[in-house]
């Protein structure tokens, strides 16, 4: 708990310049060290990923009209962080011991909502088209990953 307080909480800032890398590292912690991640999972998932990342659009202005697809390296920092946030949640569900339905149901609902909204979680069209395409792609991949975890869907 002290490790989290000192290290992780201070890095969970939506404006941090290295946020995509930080969230990617948290996704790996959720995957390979689920007991450690479980201690601060609610803070990371609910208080940060859902409240500060997935439901907020911080795309650069002037980039709304663009192609439907771009290379992943061309995505904005906001889109890359959202994608990594999806991976954090899916890794969390996949590695949770016991009854996974408690956490898998809300995660699946979020992924389906992202697919239904065509990659625009807020439905306000303030996100680049290529970002929406990548978010749909990764939401679909996350659903498939959860489908490969039968206990997550019971």
Q: What percent of the chain has pLDDT over 90?
A: 34
10 or 6: which carries more pLDDT confidence? 10
Number of Cβ within 10 Å of residue 43's Cβ equals 15
8 has a pLDDT exceeding 90: no
* Rounded distance between C-alpha atoms, residue 109 and residue 52, angstroms: 18
What SS3 class is residue 54? helix
Residue 24's pLDDT band (cuts 50, 70, 90):
very high
Residues 58, 63, 67: CA angle, nearest 5 degrees: 120
This prediction has a pTM of 0.85
Q: Mean pLDDT, the chain, as a whole number?
A: 84
What SS3 class is residue 57? coil
What is the average pLDDT across 114-135? 88
Residue 80's pLDDT band (cuts 50, 70, 90):
very high
The alpha helices in the chain, defined as continuous H runs, are 2-3, 9-11, 19-32, 34-42, 77-95, 101-116, 129-147
């Amino acid at each position: 708990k002290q490790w989290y307080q000192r290290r992780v909480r201070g890095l969970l800032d939506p404006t941090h310049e290295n946020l995509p890398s930080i969230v990617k590292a948290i996704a790996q912690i959720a995957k390979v060290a689920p007991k450690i991640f479980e201690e601060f999972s609610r803070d990371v998932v609910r208080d940060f990923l859902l409240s500060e990342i997935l439901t907020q659009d911080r795309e650069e202005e002037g980039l709304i009209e663009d192609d439907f697809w771009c290379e992943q390296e061309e995505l904005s920092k906001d889109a890359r962080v959202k994608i990594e946030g999806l991976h954090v949640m899916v890794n969390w569900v996949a590695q949770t011991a016991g009854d996974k339905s408690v956490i898998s149901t809300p995660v699946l609902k979020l992924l389906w909502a992202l697919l239904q909204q065509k990659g625009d979680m807020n439905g306000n069209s303030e996100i680049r088209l290529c970002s929406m395409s990548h978010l749909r792609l990764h939401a679909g991949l996350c659903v498939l990953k959860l489908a490969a975890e039968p206990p997550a869907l019971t």
